[in-house]
Amino acid sequence: MLKMNENAGPLRIGVLGMQGAVIEHEGALKRADESIEIVLVRSPDDVKNLDGLILPGGESTTISINVARGALLPILQEWIHAGRPTFGTCAGLILMSKPNMGGFDCTVERNYYGSQSDSFVTTVLHNLKELGPSSKGVFIRAPAIQEVSDQVTPLAVIDHIAGQQIVAIQQGNFLGTTFHPELTTDPTWHRYFLKIAKAYKKQALEAYQ
């Protein structure tokens, strides 16, 4: 059984360090809250005592292979199954969707917008007041969120020639974006994730006492 972090001190957030935008997420977490502890997750022991976990973007097949090779897969599955705070960006979101590790009750289509050269930056329109009206979304060989169940809350959309598309979602303690908020200096999405992790930790510590 995965142990929770019983330390009431600063939040400990893990960043899966297999491939992709790992350092960028570490920087974004620091910008969002200087006081948090960051753990690079590469082996099962690294997942102990975390309050939240980020699955970065990169290449989802490579990340999956490395996760399986490092014996992390059952630990991550247990983490997600327990509903612990998890933030998946781009490839990270792909891993949290069906038929991969799961977590989100949704399907995604990989490389929806085309190849690397079809990557783009556009305005992400937020649905949730506390996130502010909008942010800059960096989409790099991004997936598109396809079917979502009513368990999934869309948090943001973009206007696309194919129509408005959902690009950020929440389901309980899971947060996912098809874009890369860690590649901008705007801490909005990481702050929102830290809020989820903080609330989860508070609740878990209270239940524990």
Ligand X SMILES: NC(=O)CC[C@H](N)C(=O)O
Q: Which C-beta is closer to ligand X: that of 57 or that of 137?
A: 57
83 is in an annotated binding site: no
Binding site for ligand X (CB under 6 A): 57-60, 90-91, 94, 110-111, 140-141
Please identify, using beta-carbon distances, which residue of 52 and 88 lies nearer to ligand X. Answer: 88
Nearest approach, Cβ of residue 122 and ligand X (Å) = 15
26 is catalytic: no
Given the residues 25, 126, 182, 190, the one annotated as active site: 182
Closest-CA residue to 101 (of 116, 81, 117, 82):
81
- Measured distance CA(28)–CA(10) in Å, rounded: 16
Q: Does the annotation place 58 within a ligand binding site?
A: yes
Catalytic residue among 90, 106, 126, 190, which? 90
- Closest approach, Cβ 28 to ligand X, in A, equals 15
- Residue 188 identity (one-letter amino acid): T
Using only the alpha carbons of the chain, give its radius of gyration.
Answer: 16
Catalytic residue among 24, 25, 26, 180: 180
Task: Confirm whether residue 110 is marked as ligand binding.
Answer: yes
Q: How far is the CB of 94 from ligand X (least distance, A)?
A: 6
Q: Is 59 annotated as a binding residue?
A: yes
Would you say 111 or 153 has its CB closer to ligand X? 111
To the question of whether residue 26 is assigned a binding role by annotation, the answer is: no
Q: Answer for the pair 82, 2: CB distance below 8 angstroms, yes or no.
A: yes
Kindly state the smallest distance separating residue 58's Cβ from ligand X, in Å: 5
90 as an active site residue: the answer is: yes
- Of the pair 72, 91, the CB lying nearest ligand X is at 91
106 tagged catalytic:
no
Catalytic residues: 90, 180, 182
> Which residue numbers belong to the known binding site?
58-60, 110, 140-141
Give the annotated binding-site residues for L-glutamine. Answer: 58-60, 110, 140-141
